Structure 1
Amino acid sequence: MLNSYIRLAVCHHLMPLSRPTRLRGFMKELEERIAQQGTVKPGNVLKVDAFLNHQCDVELFDHMGAAWAEHFKGKTIDKILTIEASGIGIACVVARHFGNVPVVFAKKAQSINLDGDQYTTTVYSFTKQKEFPVIVSKRYLNEGDHVLLIDDFLANGKALKGLIELCHEAGATVEGIGIAVEKGFQGGGDQLREEGYDVDSLAIVESMDPENGTIEFRS
């Protein structure tokens, strides 16, 4: 599907609470990049590898970090947790906006480098259509940690729920969740919000059509 067929639309009937103008600017920037460079593929897949999860636009990541620093200001955040692999680059740039706090990424497979006690759970990947383990060493996720979860995509929320489970097991507090692109039509983000989590998604895709490349964003 040619990118020229992708148009930007807004669903005004799904308006959330108003946000500062600066944050709306960051949301608009990401939406425009998705509209210009994203590709809608069959199976509810949105390909944004030109700037988000294959080739990485570090300046865009920096803007994301600034937006989340504004949204989560006033909260104690002393660690960022993500999952390999696409969330790592974003998380590392974002950490600069939170005082260079440590970034921990959960691994999806056992390896000889993973030794000692571990927190482990299993989650289902929407894009890969299979289950995989999520593993974090107990050395790097501790009781009393105040954690910000960061990831590139949020669809059905399974991966994030896995990270939340690891935090609860460790006795850490999930202070918030920062997402670059949320697929609002798959419900994972809204379910997490209903459970009381502060989920800040910079772009929420409300619908997309692989036939004509249309992408509609929640405003």
Structure 2
Amino acid sequence: MDKLKNKILEHGNVLSNDVLLLDGIINHRVEPKLMMEIGKEFARIFAGERITKVITIESSGIPAAFATAYELDVPMVFARRKKTLIADPDAYCERVPSFTKGIVTDLLVSKQYLSPDDSVLFIDDIIANGDAARGLVKIIERSGAKLVGLGVIVEKTFQNGGKLLREQGVRLEPLVRISSLHNGQITFE
């Protein structure tokens, strides 16, 4: 996706050799037309799979997951990061560290929205160390649902998240792979 790469170069902000801020296109400010193109691309990549739901993690994965679910004409579910007063007390829960937030949070998915009958596509924004993604994969496994794959907008291949998920047997499909942020420069694979 050359358009996505160009947007990353135009709006991405390299904060360190490990951190790329994409608030200008996918995390804080969202470009709807670009998200719909991303959704179409994920739908194309995972065509042929019997997907019943698209799942993601609150909040950065929601726009891309929504666009993908729209293209596939299936519901979207997102894992909440905070338990609320009205949250389902019988939810799947996994405690995970967040690389970009620098904190540990809980991922919660209501059991009524994920079942053994589901075949789910996991969509996320960026994979770095993959801790949150592995946490959601554990929730999907505990539910008995089938994980058909994980589509990520950006994989930072210089960090281990993607590698670890692939070693777990997860089909990981990034739209863009970034091999380095060294010296403030974004280097694509």
Do both share a fold (TM > 0.5)? Answer: yes
Amino acid in the other structure paired with 2:22: V
Alignment of 1:93 with 2:67, yes or no, is yes
Consecutive aligned runs of 4 or more in structure 1 exceeding 2 Å deviation: none
Q: Does 1:58 align with 2:32?
A: yes
Structure 2 counterpart of 1:203, from 153, 176, 179: 176
Equivalent position to 2:22, from 48, 52, 74: 48
Code of the residue aligned with 1:113 in structure 2: it is I
Q: What per-residue deviation string (whole Å, max 9, x for no partner) do you get for residues 150-174 of structure 1?
A: 1111011111111110011110010
Report the equivalent of 1:172: 145
Q: For 2:155, what is the secondary structure of its paired residue?
A: strand
2:75 maps to a residue whose letter is P
How much has 1:43 moved relative to structure 2? Answer: 5.7
Q: Which is bigger in relative contact order (C-alpha 8 A, separation at least 6)?
A: 1
Aligned residues: 189
**Per-residue CA shift, 1:103-149, capped at 9, x if unaligned?**
11101111012024110111110011121111111111111200000
SS in 1 for 2:47: coil
| 2:82 counterpart of 1:109 | yes
The reply on whether 1:71 has 2:45 as its aligned counterpart is yes
User: TM-score when scaled to structure 1?
Assistant: 0.83
In the alignment, what sits opposite 2:118? 145
TM-score w.r.t. structure 2 length? 0.96
Q: Please report how far the alpha carbon of residue 50 of structure 1 lies from its aligned counterpart in structure 2 after TM superposition.
A: 1.0
Deviation at 1:67, TM superposition (A): 1.1
Contact 2:56 2:124 in 1 (8 A): yes
Residue 119 (1) aligns with residue 92 (2): yes
Q: Does residue 80 of structure 1 match 2:51?
A: no
Identity among equivalent pairs (%): 39
User: CA RMSD, aligned part only?
Assistant: 1.2
Whole-angstrom distance in 1 between the partners of 2:96 and 2:34: 29
User: Which residue does the alignment assign to 1:183?
Assistant: 156
> Where does the alignment leave 5 or more consecutive residues of structure 1 unmatched?
1-25
**Larger gyration radius, structure 1 or structure 2:** 1
Question: Does 2:188 align with 1:217?
Answer: yes
